[in-house]
Structure 1
Amino acid sequence: MELKTLDIFCEIIDNYGDIGVVYRVAKEIKKIYKDSIIRVFINRKEEFLKINSKAQDIDYQEIDGIYYITFDYLLKNIEKIDSSQVIIEAFGCNIPEVYMEKAYISSDLLINLEYLSAEDWIEDFHLQSSPIGKGKLKKIFFMPGFTEKTGGIIADSNFLDRCKDVCENKKIYQDKYLKDIIHIEDKIVGTIFSYEKNFEPLFRDLNKLDREIVILALGEKTQDSMRKFFKKNSVEVFGNKARYGKIEVIFYQFLNQEEYEELINVVDFNFVRGEDSFIRAVLTGKPYLWHIYCQEELAHMDKLEGFLDKYKRVIDKEDNIFIENIEKLFKDYNFRRENNLEIGKEDYTYFFTNLENIGKNNRVFRDFLIQKCNLINKLKYFIEKY
């Protein structure tokens, strides 16, 4: 199939992850298919306005050749909006039925782009079809994952180019984001972006290191959790900074998507949450920890088990000490039955005293994903073959 028109639908609930993924996919597809018409339909604008500095608070706009349209605008102007040749339904969202009535007749392919998962069963469901029962439209499930038999992960060229640029011009980006850190060459600097978390074990272990550390606290939930720790321990916060022993914490302002991508490439480590930020951290090849969204019946721990299994298949299987310590930290960092400030059992000592070895293994895993599990390449191949 020659792709001429593509519509992506995204239903934003209460986070930046969904629109972050959609924004990234749209940009990459437009880069590949320069002459194709790409439209992104979103149910609300607030999150998009924050991750894209070019976005305006209007219902219909063109940014870098891509049209961003609200559901409200679509419903009010459905008479003059035709359905596209290919439709991407992001994360099982609800596409307005007035649009679908046109799509059943005029569109060729509906791709249900699902959430990232590391569980084995997704290999069996990837590229499976689902009956629609109307018109000529066919629905296909596209299952992102960490193996060659899945839909892969979004290793978009825009991000990979940005990684290379930051690495080759590190001083420029240090001046851009970290200029207030004195003697940065002697310190460990990293970002933390999490759900609610009790950071007492982290601060305990960081103060045992023989180096000072700077934490860039990102996101409201991370910052609130840290402020509560400081209040409990009678630590004063001056402006956007606080100091606790050897640790300096900087409460960082909100960054758009491109700025965040630059920042995580210039620091030494990244603690991240959700899906999109996690994959960005993986693709840096730097040390990272993943805070998974807490689910009922500890379902998030099953996801973590799946990821660790895929990770261990690729890295040095003889490094038993590394595997044992990293696996334990990931599990302890994530074990909880609800998002709260209950203190965990994690010990961060191994992580911060073995950053070089962790980075070495992470780069092996990153290179495998880029070469064998690139979602954009897989999506392009499937559409063109269809």
Structure 2
Amino acid sequence: MQWDVFCQVIDNFGDIGVCWRLARDLSARGHTVRLWVDDPSALTWMAPEVDWTPSGAYPQGRGHDGIVVHPWAQAADAAAVPEPGDVVIEAFGCNPPDPFLARMAARAEPPRWINLEYLSAEDYVARSHRLRSPVWSGPASGLTKHFFYPGFTPDTGGLLREPGLIDRQDALRLDAVRRQAVLGQLGVAHQPGERVASVFCYGTAPLGTWLSALAGSPAEPTHVVLTQGHAQQLGSSWRAQWEATQGPLPTHLRLSVVPPLSQPGYDDLLACCDLNLVRGEDSAVRALWAGRPHVWQIYEQDDGVHADKLDAFTARWTADWPASLQASVRAWWQAWNRLGPWPDALPAWPDATGWARASLSSRDRLRTQTDLVTQLIAFVTGSG
């Protein structure tokens, strides 16, 4: 089948990250995908195989089998918009341009139209999943879109999880020699006895508070791997302040900065680290599949609804955990999201009998759910 996936990049990488993973998974299963995006700049590092080449009035991004990246403006140009494919996905309610919608409505057999929604663990997701929304006016009049909600329960759309992902992650997680080699390829000179944490965060994360706590814990040698962007900036600012007031960093705390990573490269980093601090939707889901302890910084919203979303996910993810571990992990998550005070003590990591084991247990419970792409294909073909 031919899929048209529409993506508008708002202010971070989660939207294009989710859409690119979706496109990759569909193409790996034999489908063809046109990805329509208004700002493809993140693909230069997220998908370095894609190369923009001239093609008439609009360039096309090629280089990944089964996927062609198109500029959003082409779909808004009535003279240049192509015939829609079999399925149209608007990611996160981004509203495809009117000329494309008009071409959809003009087809003898209109494409299936899906609004792929944001991820949440809240109860409304199951109630809203697969609901139909007829269009009564405008260029798409007469068409019907359906809401498709990712989620964490069998009555939702599931999560992006390409075939074989967890086996690949586990193989890396359990192979200390290979982990060392992968970290080395990323420029992280891991030392024996040193625990490793990755940080991918927004600019509001209290990274300095955590780094100061690590600096004061000489019994726990730690290597913190900072990703490009906010994590690097916050880490550099904290280090400069520390060195100006305290002198050189203590030898038990080391900081590294990794270059912008492709999606497979970032997945490898998550599998190699003992703890992953992640943000938004895409990296949070990948942290779940890595099976490592993680801390999630949710996207902060002005009306405060992100607090309820965080609570809902925490309750589902830690449902079977010991009460004391639940409380300590929740306290850290609340503090990391500026929703509570910094806890006096953080959960131990790595700890094969505690947080690490509980994270694997929750991951394995979640992997029994049918993945999002399998459910999408079944839905649009009428086989599920």
Counterpart of 2:191, as a letter, is I
> Structure 1 residues 263 and 73, CA, compared in 2 at 3 Å: closer, same or farther?
same
Greater relative CO (CA pairs within 8 A, separation 6+): 1
Contact 1:60–1:67 (CA<8 Å) still a contact in 2? yes
Q: Tell me the distance in 1 between the aligned counterparts of 2:344 and 2:46.
A: 33
Change (3 A) 1:161 1:49: farther
Matches for 1:321-360 after TM superposition, within 5 Å: 321-336=324-339, 345-347=342-344, 349-352=346-349, 354=351, 356-360=353-357
Higher helix share: 1
Deviation at 1:141, TM superposition (A): 0.3
d(CA) in 2 for partners of 1:113, 1:183: 40
Change in 2 beyond 3 A, CA 1:348/1:146: farther
Q: 1:222 aligns with which of 221, 231, 251?
A: 231
Question: Out of 151, 160, 165, which is 2:157 matched to?
Answer: 151
Partners of 1:88 and 1:111 within 8 A in 2: yes
| Aligned-residue identity in percent | 25
Q: Answer yes or no: is 1:272 the counterpart of 2:281.
A: no
Distance in 2 separating the partners of 1:347 and 1:283: 29
**C-alpha deviations, 1:89-133, integer Å up to 9, x for none?**
101113111010011232231100011011111111110011112
Spell out the pairing of 1:45-194 with structure 2 (5 A cutoff).
45-58=40-53, 59-62=59-62, 63-76=64-77, 78-79=79-80, 81-106=82-107, 107-133=110-136, 134=140, 137-157=143-163, 159-167=165-173, 169-178=175-184, 184-194=191-201
1:146 deviates by 1.3
Residue 363 of structure 1 and its aligned partner are, at CA, apart by: 1.1
Going from structure 1 to structure 2, the CA distance change for 1:353 and 1:42 (only over 3 Å counts) comes to: closer
Classify 1:70/1:208 alpha carbon distance in 2 versus 1 (closer, same or farther; 3 Å): same
**Aligned ranges 1:222-371 → 2 under 5 Å:** 222-234=231-243, 243-313=249-319, 315-316=320-321, 319-336=322-339, 345-347=342-344, 349-352=346-349, 354=351, 356-371=353-368
The alignment partner of 1:296 has SS state of coil
CA distance 1:168–1:230, shift in 2 (3 Å): closer
Query: Structure 2 CA distance, aligned partners of 1:49 and 1:110?
Result: 29
Q: CA deviation at 1:87?
A: 0.6
C-alpha distance in 2 between matches for 1:224 and 1:23 = 26
- Which region of structure 1 is more displaced relative to structure 2, 140-149 or 58-67? 58-67
Question: Which deviates further from its counterpart, 127-136 or 207-216?
Answer: 127-136
C-alpha distance in structure 2 between counterparts of 1:92 and 1:351, whole Å: 40
Q: What displacement does 1:184 show?
A: 2.3
Q: Provide the aligned C-alpha RMSD in A.
A: 2.5
> Following the alignment from structure 1 to structure 2, what is the Cα–Cα distance between the partners of residues 79 and 293?
36
When normalised by structure 2's length, the TM-score is 0.88
Cα offset, 1:166, TM superposition: 2.2
Secondary structure, aligned partner of 1:310: helix
Change in 2 beyond 3 A, CA 1:198/1:333: closer
Shift of 1:41: 0.9
Alignment-derived partner of residue 56 in structure 2: none
Report the CA distance shift for 1:95/1:181 in structure 2 as closer, same or farther (over 3 A).
closer
Cα distance change on mapping 1:190 and 1:356 into 2, 3 Å: farther
Whether the 8 Å CA contact 2:152–2:366 is kept in 1: the answer is yes
The answer as to whether partners of 1:201 and 1:346 remain within 8 angstroms in 2 is no
Residues 346, 282 of structure 1: CA spacing in aligned structure 2 closer, same or farther, 3 A cutoff?
same
Give the equivalent residue in structure 2 for 1:239: none
1:22-81 C-alpha deviation (Å, 9 max, x unpaired): 11111111222x1x4321111122112220011123421332121111123334574561
Q: 1:6·1:39 contact (CA, 8 Å) conserved in 2? A: yes
Q: Could you tell me whether the CA contact under 8 Å between 1:49 and 1:57 is conserved in 2?
A: no
Q: What's the secondary structure of 1:152's corresponding residue?
A: coil
Contact 2:280/2:297, CA 8 A, preserved across alignment: yes
- Gap change, CA 1:233 and 1:183, over 3 Å in 2: closer
SS of alignment partner, residue 352 of structure 1: coil
Contact 1:6-1:87 within 8 A present in 2 as well? yes
Q: Mean alpha-carbon deviation: is it higher for 281-290 or for 7-16?
A: 7-16
Q: How far, CA to CA, are the matches of 1:80 and 1:303 in structure 2?
A: 38
1:232: Cα distance to partner?
Answer: 2.2
Q: What secondary structure does 1:294 align onto?
A: coil
Rounded Cα–Cα distance in structure 1 between residues aligned with 2:79 and 2:268: 39
* Conserved 8 A contact 2:317-2:362: yes
Aligned residue number for residue 385 of structure 1: 382
Q: CA separation in 2, counterparts of 1:226 and 1:257? A: 23
Question: How many aligned positions are there?
Answer: 368
- The answer to which of 46-55 and 349-358 deviates more is 349-358
Gaps of 5+ in 2: 54-58
Q: CA offset at residue 346 of structure 1?
A: 3.5
Q: 1:88 to 1:346 in 2, by over 3 A?
A: same
Paired residues of 1:6 and 1:86 also in contact (CA < 8 A): yes
Whether the 8 Å contact between 2:6 and 2:91 is mirrored in structure 1 is yes
